[in-house]
Amino acid sequence: MRFSLLGVLVVACGAGVRAATAKISVNTKALILATDDSGKAAIGTLNGYGIPYDSIVMSDSGYTLPALTNSDGSCKYGVIVAFRQLYNSNSKGSWVSFLGSDQWQKIYDYQVACGVRLIHLGAVPNQWDFACSLVSSNDATESNSLYSTNHQFFLDTDVAKAEFPTANLKNPKNARFASTWHTPGWCDDTLLQYAWGMTSQNAFLYNEPLKLTSPASGTLASVSQPALGVINRYSSGREQMAFFTTFAQWAEASIYMNHIWINWAFRGIIPGRRQVLLGLQVDDLLLPTAVYAANYTYRITVDDVVNHAKWQIDLNKRLTSSNPGSEVFLEFGFNGNGAFIYDQTVLGLSKNGTCPISVTYTGPQPVTSLEYAKPPGTGSDLWPANQTYNWPDNCIFYDPIAKMFSQNNTGGDNVNGVSDLFGLVSHTFTHEGENPITYADSKREITYNQQFQSKSFFDKAKRFSPNGVIPPAITGLHNADAIKAWMEAGINYVVGDNTRAPLRNQQNDRWPLISTAADNGYPGLVIIPRWANRIYYNADGVASDVQEWLDVSPSQATNSMTNLLSIERATTAQYLLSLYHDPFMFHQANLRVWQDPGVSVNGVSGPWSLIQMWTESILDEFVQYVNWPIQGLKHDDMGRDFVDRMNRDLYSGFSVAWTTSSDGTTITGFTVDCSNSSWSGEIPVMVPGDVASLSNARVTQYGSDPATLWVSKFPTSFQLKSPIQMHGTKINITSAAISLTTALPSLTLPTTSLVGSFPVSDIISAKSTSAASASLSSVASAKSSSASASATTSAAAKSVSSSSTAKLTSSSTSSGRSSSSSTSSASGTSSGSSARTSSGSSTSSLRASSTTSSATASSTASGDSDASRFLNSLCADSTTAASVGNLCTLWNAFKQTGKIQKRLVLPEGMPQYDWDNEGGHPEAIPRWRKRDGHQAHGRHIKRHQ
Ligand SMILES: *[C@@H]1O[C@H](CO)[C@@H](O)[C@H](O)[C@H]1NC(C)=O
Ligand SMILES: *[C@@H]1O[C@H](CO)[C@@H](O)[C@H](O)[C@H]1NC(C)=O
Ligand SMILES: *[C@@H]1O[C@H](CO)[C@@H](O)[C@H](O)[C@H]1NC(C)=O
Ligand SMILES: *[C@@H]1O[C@H](CO)[C@@H](O)[C@H](O)[C@H]1NC(C)=O
Ligand SMILES: *[C@@H]1O[C@H](CO)[C@@H](O)[C@H](O)[C@H]1NC(C)=O
């Protein structure tokens, strides 16, 4: 008889265990269990919501769990998440679950007593644990293709609606795995007989259909609905959800799936908030920009502004229909002196004395290193000593762009004003670099722009940010004199640059960085993280942007705007789905509209500007996954939002506990409390439906998303108008099966080209060079060392030891970054670089795709990567080897021949997103920036050099 070690996990649950029959209280904190750093893949998304969690990393078998209940009988955790069924190679070299059967039983008993759901991530299908059998082939290349091809995946919308409605997910039109290892299963009621005590299996997530030419014994030749996710229910009342794929923090697929289990496990009562913010910040408004690889400067025209106004209105119309409640907007960082430069140079209004000349530096700007810290009081003024704000107001309005931004639209379709559409925030008056700046110049840079914003009526714009500034070229953030001048002028919020670690909060990447005297020279300034991207500051169209990509990033770049946008699509959708709120950086030259830009975006050939191409691309990618609203927040409101989030994590000690009916069968409500009795802020809680009384809370709700309560008094208990059944029931999947085949024509296996508009093949070809692999490795290892450095700074990380050692990081104070206290963060890097070389052809036919995949020799065979160890131990034991189909045949063949080119190892814990060898931060290599200085002010620099 075939016997699986994995099957041993099924112990006698049900026997002697009784479901709750009394009122219970369950704290909605997550418990993450893993045997390595794979937990990061779940923690990233929890941190996006702000959900508290504990994370246990077991280092050996025989681990004893901490108590799961409090002394008063209340339940400590609202969900338990286990990676890879906690299998790993233990200190004796055996491939075992690090939890023994008694400890698994403890979890099962806790589930039954508290009504808490168990989530298996990275599980492999087997009939004993899931009533699903692994889809597997006897043919090595076929199986390899089966597990590693970038297959499409689908949600069963009927099951989704019944089981996790608050996730509010779409069935994605073309979502694919991106080099995560997935092992689809065939889930069927006939397999229930093997799963002791299990009463139902209910798949909710599917792989595209699979046809095998050489099915392993027990595998169907044709599986029309291979399952990637299944819900199991037991006669004891226990419920679990399993995903048959590995999870990675950098994978869109994993993040999408995280939202499924989070909403299912918490039944929609989520201690946190799910809001997607898209900040589109355009720096250098009113200044001209010297265009890259060209001999001209560009400054946006009235036509460009009108085009973007109309586009934004149209975009929001489309967004409102695909994702109700959405509203995004461009936000401009303006430099008032630019209007006077325009008067002087273009209109000649200084020659006959109509407008005084623009501010003209008395010498060249000193060049400094990126993180230069100027000793306070040093440096020379660049502004003329006798400079005054001497421009008549008319001189503002001679500039047609300043005029457009100074008034609301009264011209109907002939847009004549954009003050009621776009955001505006100061970018300082002349854009003088503030690393070496003196206090006097910094003061004038900020206060002159304040005079300008008042005289130009920019400060009357609908989305003006009086308390914020975008530092010029993100300088001055270690300059005490600069920061002091800003803060004296009422500036509390600035943006940083995520490519620079010193400007990002190293304890939690969802928190802002608050300046300190030690690091920044002056304390208390809020630095909001901001993403760079591959739309470069001095690019005005496809030609300059692609040329700059090729020059800055030769290992990654191709001569294709479509490829560039594909990388941006994936990178950005990942950030948005992970609920990062950091805005994105753009510049005025990116708004140049080209009637024939030379590239089609989502099937439309133009006209487009670079920022339009980017925004349309990333939104097309994002909206396929979710119905959630996507919104803009103006600069200083975003700063307040970041600060509020950090403060509640750090100081409130909040908890949200659901309470049940007296017989324990329904969740009737929940209580929000804070351990810090002097906490006076708000705590957000997402709710699945109406609550009876709204005292002590305000409500936000957008589009079709669930409402969020913002609770302001503690403790407060809320009663749900419709109590939630503790236990669900199997959804009749008949109709789902029909919708799966009829509503999704793209389920048909593509043979020659990819369906939908996401050209994955382009990305793959862009990356399949050995140079790309090499540069990826170095970036990845640099990253991982900074991650571990940050982990040591985490004050909250603490160790507990029981029968075996483990790390327990407690989350409400230290999530995200700090929890990446990884043991082997560099492992998996080499495999990561080879992974991208997979499926050079876009076909998904198993046969064809494996024969056409021929890439450079893979480097996956690095002996001691986590995944290699996993597979070596798995395959060393004949019983476990037998339980995973021909996985081991494949692995052994690979080790001998090195011929299988696709990802053969599990990417869990892979530290680096491998489409992204610049870490998503292309300007991390600011070669051009350094050499050219900020060309926007070339006029002044040239004059004095
Ligand atoms: C700028 O480039 C264009 C096209 O290459 C060329 O015709 C023109 O002469 C150049 N102008 C200057 C001022 O160099
Ligand atoms: C100054 O010169 C500009 C451009 O030549 C002209 O448009 C403007 O009317 C003149 N202003 C005065 C006051 O002469
Ligand atoms: C400042 O002084 C310089 C030199 O005396 C003079 O050329 C310039 O016009 C003055 N600027 C202002 C704004 O008064
Ligand atoms: C634009 O309209 C709003 C009201 O809708 C008003 O408050 C604001 O002052 C107007 N802006 C300008 C520049 O007139
Ligand atoms: C469930 O499916 C069966 C067919 O398998 C069908 O006869 C029955 O009506 C369905 N029940 C519901 C509630 O949809």
Q: List, for residues 698-743, the tens digit of each pLDDT value.
A: 999 999 999 999 999 999 999 999 999 999 888 866 444 433 333 3
Give the residue extent of every domain in the chain: 26-274+732-742+756-811+829-897, 276-541+572-596+611-630, 651-725
Phi/psi at 490 (nearest 5 deg)? 90, 15
798 class by beta-carbon count within 10 Å (0-12 exposed, 13-18 middle, 19+ buried): exposed
| Six token digits for residue 120 | 């298996």
Is residue 368 in contact with ligand 3, taking CB distance under 6 Å? no
How many A from CA of 386 to the centre of ligand 3? 6
Atom of ligand 5 nearest to the CA of 734: 2
Question: Distance (Å, rounded) from C-alpha 800 to C-alpha 808?
Answer: 6
Ligand 5 atom 10 nearest Cα: 732
Q: Which residue's alpha carbon is at the smallest distance from atom 1 of ligand 5?
A: 732
| CB-ligand 5 contact for 734 (6 Å cutoff) | yes
- Decide: 126 and 183 in contact? Cβ < 8 Å: no
In degrees to the nearest 10, what's the CA dihedral of 303, 308, 313, 317? Answer: 130
Residue 900: Cβ within 10 Å count: 23
pLDDT score of 653 more than 70: yes
* pLDDT surpasses 80 at 590: yes
- Residue 695 in contact with ligand 5 by CB distance below 6 A: no
Q: From ligand 4's centre to the CA of 456, what distance in Å?
A: 12
Q: Is 729 in the pocket of ligand 5 (CB under 6 A)?
A: no
CA 460 to ligand 4 center in whole angstroms: 6
- Stated as kind and residue range, the H or E segment containing 520 is helix 517-520
Per-residue confidence band for 213, with pLDDT thresholds at 50, 70 and 90: confident
State in Å: Cα 812 to ligand 2 middle: 64
Residue 768 vs residue 702, higher pLDDT: 702
Task: Enter the pTM of the model.
Answer: 0.80
Q: Whose CA is nearest to atom 14 of ligand 5?
A: 732
Query: pLDDT tier at 177 (50, 70, 90 boundaries)?
Result: confident
* 276-541+572-596+611-630 is a CATH 3.20.20 domain: yes
pLDDT at residue 821 in the model: 31
> Contact 553/565 with Cβ under 8 angstroms?
no
What distance in angstroms lies between residue 734's CA and the mean position of ligand 5's atoms?
Answer: 7
Ligand nearest to C-alpha 390:
3
Single-letter residue type at 856: T
Rounded distance between C-alpha atoms, residue 773 and residue 784, angstroms: 16
Model confidence at 806: pLDDT above 80: no
pLDDT score at 672: 97
pLDDT of residue 23: 86
Which ligand 2 atom is at minimum distance from the Cα of 352?
A: 1
Predicted confidence at residue 598, as pLDDT, reads 92
* pLDDT tens digits, one per residue of 2-35: 333 333 333 333 333 455 667 899 999 999 999 9
Residue 315 C-alpha to ligand 4 middle, in angstroms?
23
Closest by CA position to 298, among listed 472, 533, 539, 534: 539
540 CA distance to ligand 1 middle (Å) = 17
Average pLDDT (872-880) is: 66
Q: Which atom of ligand 5 is nearest to the CA of 735?
A: 14
For residue 179, give Cα distances in angstroms to 175, 182, 651, 660: 13, 9, 39, 42
Q: Which of 277-281, 397-401, 568-572, 592-596 has the lowest average pLDDT?
A: 568-572
Eight-state DSSP code of residue 514: E
Report the pLDDT averaged over residues 899-909: 26
| Residue 579 · residue 45 · CB < 8 Å | yes
Helix 140-148 and helix 887-897: axis angle, to 10°? 100
CA dist., res. 88 & res. 866, Å (int): 9
Closest CA to ligand 3's atom 3 = 386
458 alpha carbon, closest ligand: 4
- Angle value at C-alpha 684, between 76 and 321, nearest 5 degrees: 125
Q: Looking at the predicted structure, is the pLDDT value of residue 845 above 90?
A: no
pLDDT at 642 over 90: yes
- Tokens linked to 401: 């762009």
- Give the residues surrounding ligand 2 with Cβ less than 6 Å away: 347-349, 352, 354
Are the CB atoms for 759 and 566 separated by under 8 Å? yes
* Ligand positioned closest to the Cα atom of 391: 3
pLDDT value of position 174 = 80
Q: Cα separations (Å) of 224 from 208, 211, 748, 884?
A: 8, 8, 10, 21
Which ligand is closest in space to the CA of residue 543? 1
| Ligand 3, atom nearest to 390 Cα | 13
Q: What confidence tens digit (pLDDT) does each residue in 566-586 have?
A: 999 989 999 999 999 999 999
386 lines ligand 3 (CB under 6 A): yes
Give the three-state DSSP class for 584: strand
672's tokens: 């929000």
Write out pLDDT tens, residues 449-477: 999 999 999 999 999 999 999 999 999 99
CB 269, CB 688: distance < 8 Å? yes
851 lines ligand 5 (CB under 6 A): no
Residue 919 has pLDDT above 50, yes or no: no
pLDDT attached to residue 150: 85
What pLDDT does residue 937 have? 30
Q: State the residue for tokens 């005490």.
A: 480
Question: For residues 731 and 684, is the Cβ–Cβ distance under 8 A?
Answer: no
Query: Distance between CA atoms of 495 and 352, rounded to whole angstroms?
Result: 40
In short, whether 732's Cβ falls inside 6 Å of ligand 5 is yes
Q: Determine whether the shortest distance from the Cβ of 447 to ligand 3 is under 6 A.
A: no
Phi, psi of 356 (to 5 degrees): -60, 155
Peptide bond preceding 607: is omega within 30 degrees of 0, i.e. cis?
Answer: yes
Question: Cβ contacts of residue 314 below 8 Å, gap of 6+?
Answer: none
For residue 385, give the ligand 3 atom closest to its CA.
1
Ligand 1 centroid, distance to 346 Cα (angstroms): 19
Q: Whose CA is nearest to atom 6 of ligand 2?
A: 349
Pocket of ligand 4, beta carbon within 6 A: 407-408, 419-420, 457, 460
Q: Is the peptide bond before 366 cis (omega within 30 degrees of 0)?
A: no
What pLDDT is attached to residue 880? 63
Closest-lying ligand to the alpha carbon of 730?
5
CA-nearest of 489, 501, 454, 446 to 470 is 446
- Looking at residue 489, its pLDDT comes to 98
> E strands along 540-665, which residues?
584-587, 630-631, 654-660
Question: What pLDDT score does 886 carry?
Answer: 52
Q: Is 752 in the pocket of ligand 5 (CB under 6 A)?
A: no
- Looking at the DSSP bridge assignments, the partners of residue 112 are none
Task: Compute the distance between CA of residue 115 and CA of residue 726 in angstroms, rounded to an integer.
Answer: 6
Q: Do 348 and 485 meet the contact criterion of CB atoms below 8 Å apart? A: no
For a mutational test of ligand 3's pocket, the pick from 386, 390, 448, i.e. the residue with the most ligand atoms closer than 8 A to its C-beta, is 386
User: Measuring from atom 2 of ligand 2, which residue has the nearest CA?
Assistant: 349
Q: What is the DSSP string of 170-237?
A: ---SS-B--S--B--EEE-GGGGGGSTTEEEEEEEEEEPPEE-SSBPTT--SEESS-EEEEEEEETTS
* Ligand 2 atom at minimal distance to the Cα of residue 348: 4
pLDDT at residue 222, rounded to an integer: 78
Atom of ligand 3 nearest to the CA of 387: 13
CA-nearest of 351, 338, 533 to 453 is 338
Q: Whole-angstrom Cα distance, residue 258 to residue 513?
A: 27
| Lowest mean pLDDT across 32-36, 148-152, 188-192 | 148-152
pLDDT at 812 (0 to 100): 36
Q: Is pLDDT of 678 > 60? A: yes
